[in-house]
Amino acid sequence: MEFGKHLAAFPSPIPGLTVWDLPVHGDSRGWFKENWQREKMIAMGLPDFGPVQNNVSFNDAIGTTRGIHAEPWDKWVSVATGRVFGAWVDLRDGPTFGTVFTAELDPSRAVFVPRGVGNAYQTLEEDTAYSYLVNDHWSSDAHYTFLNLEDETAAIAWPIALDRAAVSAKDRRHPRLAAVIPVARRKILVVGGEGQLGHALRQALDARKDVEFADRQEFDVADESVLHARLWSDYEVIINAAAYTAVDLAETPDGRREAWATNVQGVAHLVRIAAMNDLTLVHVSSDYVFDGETDRPYREDDPVSPLGVYGQTKAAGDILVGTVPKHYVVRASWVIGDGRNFVRTMVDLAQRGVAPKVVNDQVGRLTFTEDLATGILHLVETGAPFGVYNLTGAGDPRSWAEIARMVFSLAGGDANRVTPVSTTEYYREAQGPVAPRPRSSELDLSKIEATGYSPVDFDRRLGQAVARWCGEV
């Protein structure tokens, strides 16, 4: 063991597996070290893996060898006394499957082992003890993946030959690499898979084996049973595309209750799941969290000031999601996708020769669900900094009336048949409740652009959508 090392991390050929030098301070009485120090190590790149259990393995004889196991959790392994030879084999599905790395560990050297990487240890001194922190509780239901210690492909150069080592009979029976089923990636769960955004995410992700979609009938976020609806250690990301979006009905007693149940209580359930299981939570929000009274595009850090019940519930949900260490709140405006929506309605009216009245004092940008899905996946897959992001189409903001006129022209109708009116005039004869709407819904896109994402001009998407829906009539 070496005294006086500086805390340092070293990468390995196995992605995510890092070896760490630990400062050990000693004198005639013995030695002391900080075995795991969250703040310092996270600052130097160690994942904030959230350990929940600490285990110790004591080995009284030289050559005790514990065979290559890949567990469904991350591990921080360090030696308390003695020395071990460590061997790690990447058993995860992907291009590095089968990659091998070996190193000696003593009290001044530790290793972080990601989920799915097989790890084995052979003691090099008597009375060797090593400990490991793990970020999930041991369970008899946990699925392990194993590799034979003598696998010829891995060809691990054990310091003590395995025929002279202490190895359990079970470890000697494990399969060779050719027979190992790779450890699958942790999964993505899309909640609200039946909605407009859910359909767009399905189109973008449906071919992937590591993605699941859940509709409300199967997975009602407002029901507390969702807390135990999955083995959450098998998941990495939850994308919450579920929401109560009936803006006007939310102003009624029944609608208010349902909006709060889905948009707040349901989100609280997802927050608990994500926080307790170290998951990334992606939550889709709305321009309705603002009152629309600004004279510039809204930034992510602007204070919320919702006007109606729907906006209030979305703002409350945003605040809840912000308590999750790994979160993306994605705020969109004027969402357009498959199903009933404003643009499709205008296409239908244009083709039937109807002359609608459309409000001209609400201004914003359209967000097409295909772009919303692409932007969400960009944040997740590039590992963008966690936080709140605005995500809409690019281009000059327009009023609903201007967009309606564009749709009429694109659909072969007469744009002059669209009559611009004020919001007050439009809802003057409304039958039923009317929710207040933001006057300006323009969102600043500079933060998401800084991550490398380029929003698509919504005029171009509008032309594509109108052409598609005209062909369906």
- Using an 8 Å Cβ cutoff, are 390 and 338 in contact? no
Q: What is the torsion angle, in degrees rounded to the nearest 10, for the CA atoms of residue 466, residue 467, residue 469 and residue 470?
A: 110
Cα distance between residue 440 and residue 293, in whole Å = 6
Closest CA to 89 of 47, 19, 143, 147: 147
Query: What is the DSSP secondary-structure string of 289-302?
Result: GS-S--SSPBPTTS
3-class DSSP state of 85: strand
3-class DSSP state of 217: coil
Catalytic entry in 121, 130, 132, 288: 132
Give the pair of three-digit tokens for residue 194: 């039946």
144 a catalytic residue: no
Checking DSSP bridges between strand 419-421 and strand 357-359, what pairing results, if any? parallel
CA distances from 354 to 123, 361, 417 (A): 82, 22, 8
Give the pair of three-digit tokens for residue 444: 């600043």
- Tokens 């594509």 identify what position? 464
| Beta-bridge partner residues of 101 | 88
- Using an 8 Å Cβ cutoff, are 300 and 447 in contact? yes
Specify burial of residue 166 (Cβ count, 10 A radius: 0-12, 13-18, 19+).
Answer: middle
Query: What is the DSSP secondary-structure string of 363-375?
Result: EE--EEHHHHHHH
- Tokens 């052409």 identify what position? 467
132 a catalytic residue: yes
Cα distance between residue 117 and residue 86, in whole Å = 12
- Using an 8 Å Cβ cutoff, are 187 and 234 in contact? yes
Cα distance between residue 155 and residue 168, in whole Å = 19
Q: How far is C-alpha 64 from the geometric centre of its chain's CA atoms?
A: 40
End-to-end CA distance of the chain: 77
Angle subtended at Cα 386 by Cα 118 and Cα 205, rounded to the nearest 5 degrees: 65
Closest CA to 65 of 174, 180, 158, 176: 158
Checking DSSP bridges between strand 335-336 and strand 367-368, what pairing results, if any? parallel
Cα distance between residue 26 and residue 4, in whole Å = 9
Closest CA to 270 of 207, 317, 330: 317
Catalytic residues: 69, 132
